[in-house]
Structures are given as C-alpha cells and as structure tokens.
C-alpha cells in the first residue's frame, strides 16, 4: 500500500492516512484501551470496550473529523 497518502480517495474512505513527512518512525508499541464510539453501527453493534497490545498511529493526515 505504498503511496496511499497521495490517494485522496483513500483518505475519504479511511478518514486517515500515514504522514510520511513526520520526523519520527512508528509510534511506541504497548497496551491500550479500545473504546467503541459508534455503538449502534451494524459492524460494531454488541462490541464492548477491550484492551489490546499494538502500536497507536498518531502521525496521520486527515481529511475530516476523527473516525
């Protein structure tokens, strides 16, 4: 998926894309809480908050409000 930050449709679909111009690399790997914000959406309906271990991506370009 190289170059997705240059594809405007990707940012419209995903809401975010990696920003290659940020000076730091990947964000720290660790445990974090996932909160479901669209609890009535068909894809997330019935999901509860949970904890997982991964890296949070904060060096992202946006084309709108957080998703």
pTM of the model: 0.53
Centre a 10 Å sphere on the Cβ of residue 17 and count the other Cβ atoms it contains.
Answer: 22
In 1-67, alpha helices (H): 8-14
Angle at 66 between CA 27 and CA 41, to 5 degrees: 115
CB 35 within 8 A of CB 51: no
Residue range 11-45, pLDDT digits in tens? 777 777 777 776 666 677 899 999 999 999 999 99
Residue range 2-18, pLDDT digits in tens? 555 567 777 777 777 77
């Amino acid at each position: 998926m190289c170059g997705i930050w240059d594809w405007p449709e990707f940012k419209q679909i995903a809401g975010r894309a990696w920003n290659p111009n940020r000076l730091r690399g990947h964000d720290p790997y660790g445990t974090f809480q996932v909160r479901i914000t669209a609890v009535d959406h068909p894809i997330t309906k019935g999901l509860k908050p949970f904890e997982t271990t991964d890296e949070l991506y904060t060096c992202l370009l946006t084309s709108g409000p957080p998703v």
